[in-house]
Amino acid sequence: MNSIDLPKLRNAEYLQYMKDFAGIINLNNPAALQIDAKLSAFNAKTVELENLFKKALANDRTKVILALDERRDDAINGIFFFLQGYAYHFEEDKKRNAQLLLANMNIYGSGIARQNYQSETATLNNMIRDWEEKTDLKDAVTSFALNAWVDELSDANTQFNTEYLSRTQEYGDANPDTIKSKREETNDAYYALRDRIDALHTLVETPPSPYATVINQLNALTEQYNVLLVKRNDGLPPEEPENPA
């Protein structure tokens, strides 16, 4: 069966993948395939994870974090598109300064606003430090009067990190059963179910295997999520909106 790098899936993506995985199996008579016990154990862990995830999204601090993340995304995207326009300016100085700042942004990868929470925070901190401390970049920012934009980006990013760390501390104080540890438990149940299907398929001596259909369907599902991960790594926009988590 096709593999997938589960840690790279964001929480919402991970949960949906697990639910889709179980949904496909349910359509293929799991009792007849002798995998209903493993499926039940897997479903139980998925439900526990979903309940924990819903609890996290309902947290008031989470709503603040989502708003701050959108605010910093708007700032970095606004700066990027502003500079992208000036990169084609007929005045050489404006063109050069825009290309200089864009080149610095490219050091930190394309699609900064699509990075996960922790990566985006670190990326923005490093980029802002460059723009404030490196003379050529600082001068380029000043030439476009972009200081207000940079201040907005810095403020939103700082507030985001403060709220994010506070929420993490709250989770740790209130409940040791974190989403991370629950994902690890769900991983174990997922692999146990997947490996049983593979093992039973391998043991079939006379084709066609009754497991071939469900394996092909599950592989098609996994491939869709692998494509999502490849697009993210390549900086391409996903086909559907993603839920940050």
Per-residue pLDDT 10s for the chain (245 aa) are: 999 999 999 888 899 999 999 999 999 999 999 999 999 999 999 999 988 887 766 677 888 999 999 999 999 999 999 999 999 999 999 999 999 999 999 999 888 998 888 889 999 999 999 999 999 999 999 999 999 999 999 999 999 999 988 877 766 555 556 788 899 999 999 999 999 999 999 999 888 999 999 999 999 999 999 998 888 766 544 443 333 33
**Given CA atoms 96, 98, 100, 106 in this order, what sign does their dihedral have?**
negative
Same domain for 88 and 48:
no
What whole-number distance in Å separates Cα of residue 166 and Cα of residue 66?
14
What whole-number distance in Å separates Cα of residue 214 and Cα of residue 220?
10
Q: What local confidence, expressed as pLDDT, does residue 176 receive?
A: 53
Q: What local confidence, expressed as pLDDT, does residue 84 receive?
A: 94
Domain count, the chain: 2
Q: What residues make up the domain containing 223?
A: 6-59+177-233
Same domain for 158 and 188:
no
Same domain for 64 and 48:
no
Same domain for 127 and 54:
no
Q: What local confidence, expressed as pLDDT, does residue 171 receive?
A: 61
Same domain for 120 and 27:
no
Residue with tokens 């959108």: 70
Same domain for 64 and 41:
no
- On whether residue 241 sits in a domain, the answer given is no
Q: What local confidence, expressed as pLDDT, does residue 64 receive?
A: 92
Residue at a domain's end among 144, 159, 174: 174
Same domain for 64 and 166:
yes
Same domain for 90 and 72:
yes
Same domain for 94 and 166:
yes
Same domain for 45 and 97:
no
What whole-number distance in Å separates Cα of residue 32 and Cα of residue 64?
48
Structure tokens at 79: 């700066």
Contacts of 133 (CB under 8 A, 6+ apart): none
Q: What local confidence, expressed as pLDDT, does residue 109 receive?
A: 85
Same domain for 149 and 95:
yes
